[in-house]
Amino acid sequence: MPAVAAVAAVAPRGSARRRRWSSAPRRAGANTRANATSTKRGGEEALPEEEGSWLVTGAAGFIGSHLVQRLLSTGAKVIAVDNIDDRGPYPPAWKEANLEVLADTARRTRASGSRLVVDEDDDDGALASNPRPMPPVSRVIHLAARSGVAGATADPEGATDANVASTAVLLDLASAHECVSFTLASSGSVYGECAVDVDSGEPVASREDDSTDHPTSPYAASKRAAELMAHAYASLASAPSAPSAPSAPSAPMRVTVARIFTVYGPRGRPDMAVYRFVAALLKREKIRRFGDGQSTWRDYLHVDDVVSGLLAAARRGEGAEVGADAFAIVNLASGSPTRLGELIDAVASAVGLTNGADEFVTQAPGRPGDVGGTFADVSAAKSLIGWEPTIGLRDGVASTAGWYASEEARAWGGGGGDGDT
């Protein structure tokens, strides 16, 4: 089985610490041993032995932790990498809580060969250029990034290091060591605001072949730059005789970019609207609505659908020779625009406000530049990777509210109203 024999540490300075999962994660530096795998886990079909290991970066984050949990539940061997940093909107304490969930999953599924690599001394969020010995992996899903428009705007150099340089390092390693699949998590922000139909005033879905040459934020620019780097490596990896190939790969590698839109769900980011509205309305606290609730919209996608999409992207073209399909871009989105007022109504229903949330909504003037939003066409994902979303907004918001109100959610600021809004 083709394999990546090495992976970069998660910082240019600092020591990578490895852990094996057991019933609970220990502090970095501790090593524990897991038992043998079973053939079926948690209702999911076990993966075949020849599947090989998976490398997931950003494994302690919102999407990453759900992805690793799904992989462990299906019997995959996972190398999970994170730096537990405090940059960005996802608090380090929440990442540690996610690791507890993953440790419990690994214990219950008796995940053999899976391990966690953590570097808590990370100084800038970029993956290092010096490779470190690691068990073989055949598929990489690269989620680690400096997320959020505000953070990248405040520190564009750091965002470039974290979002572009780290991608180049991992692509180089994957290409050099015959990884069969590399999936890069990008963002719907590369499109900017979706177009609006002149006649109807309705949003027009963004498509993968739309122009992305004019990013409107350093974050969007860094994600687009990472996409271009991925395209370059896919071109080189599909033509191994090319003299300019940096790592002279001996086997082609499929590279898939997943442009992910607005994600929500259990363990979600605290700065996102779904989480904030659920947290406030469960406690019958006020929320602010900017504008009339009809002039802005987002394309919301439940995290479980995102995970399914990433796994489908990682298996794109499996079993076939790599040719012109070495590189592809797919949107991961619901395919439906949700206006702010609709989202508030869905949250109100989920938290038991049968008469709506009007009494808890504080009206605020629309903010400059806040007209419009995001909305994606997902037909390419259906045709290229056989994926389409399955969780509707109301069901997804209900699952988020149910999780937030549970005892389990206390570590993430939920659990009966202990969290900030």
Answer positive or negative: Cα dihedral of 235, 236, 242, 243: positive
CA distance 255 to 140: 10
**pLDDT tens by residue, 109-143:** 887 778 888 765 544 443 444 445 445 789 999 99
Which ranges constitute the DSSP H helices of 238-357?
273-282, 303-314, 340-350
**pLDDT tens by residue, 170-196:** 998 888 878 899 999 999 999 988 888
- Per-residue pLDDT for 281 more than 50? yes
Mean pLDDT of 143-157: 90
Given this model, what pLDDT does residue 132 score? 53
- Per-residue pLDDT for 244 more than 50? no
Given this model, what pLDDT does residue 235 score? 86
User: What do you get for the CA distance between the two ends of the chain, in Å?
Assistant: 48
Mean pLDDT of 237-243: 58
Q: Which residues pair with 373 in a beta bridge?
A: 297
What does the domain layout of the chain look like in residue ranges?
A: 4-263+302-335+375-391, 264-298+338-373+392-421
DSSP string covering 360-413, please?
Answer: GEEEEPPPTT-SEE--B--HHHHHHH-------HHHHHHHHHHHHTSGGGGGGT
CA distance 163 to 125: 9
Backbone φ and ψ of 286, nearest 5°: -75, 150
Q: How confident is the model at residue 238 (pLDDT cuts 50, 70, 90)?
A: low
Q: Give the SS3 label for residue 56.
A: strand
Q: Which amino acid is at 206?
A: S
CB atoms within 10 A of CB 14: 15
Q: How confident is the model at residue 1 (pLDDT cuts 50, 70, 90)?
A: very low
Given this model, what pLDDT does residue 319 score? 78
Given this model, what pLDDT does residue 229 score? 96
- Per-residue pLDDT for 11 more than 90? no
CB atoms within 10 A of CB 3: 16
Could you tell me which of 208, 167, 158, 202 has the C-alpha nearest to residue 185?
A: 167
- Range with the poorest average pLDDT among 20-29, 144-153, 306-315, 324-333: 20-29
Angle (CA) 354-371-376 rounded to 5° is 80
What percent of the chain shows pLDDT beyond 90?
A: 56
- Range with the poorest average pLDDT among 25-39, 304-318, 320-334: 25-39
Q: What's the CA dihedral at 404, 310, 9, 103 to 10 degrees?
A: 40
- Range with the poorest average pLDDT among 35-39, 45-49, 71-75, 339-343: 35-39
Mean pLDDT of 97-113: 88
* H or E element that contains 225: helix 218-237
Pick the CATH number of 4-263+302-335+375-391 from 3.40.50.720, 3.30.465.10, 3.40.50.2000, 3.30.360.10: 3.40.50.720
CA distance 144 to 117: 13
Q: Which two tokens stand for residue 155?
A: 């520190």
**pLDDT tens by residue, 40-66:** 333 344 444 446 789 999 999 999 999
Given this model, what pLDDT does residue 103 score? 92
Q: What is the largest CA-CA distance in the chain?
A: 67
Name the range with the highest mean pLDDT among 16-25, 36-45, 48-57, 309-318: 309-318
241-272 burial: b if 16+ Cβ within 10 Å, else e: eeeebebebeebbbbbbbbbbbbbbbbbbbeb
Given this model, what pLDDT does residue 331 score? 99
Pick the CATH number of 264-298+338-373+392-421 from 3.40.30.10, 2.60.40.420, 3.90.25.10, 2.60.120.380: 3.90.25.10
48 class by beta-carbon count within 10 Å (0-12 exposed, 13-18 middle, 19+ buried): exposed
- Range with the poorest average pLDDT among 11-15, 151-155, 340-344, 407-411: 11-15
Average pLDDT over the chain, rounded to an integer? 81
Q: For residue 35, what is the DSSP state?
A: -
Q: State how far Cα 64 lies from the chain centre.
A: 6
Name the range with the highest mean pLDDT among 7-11, 45-49, 67-71: 67-71
Mean pLDDT of 84-105: 92
- Per-residue pLDDT for 247 more than 70? no
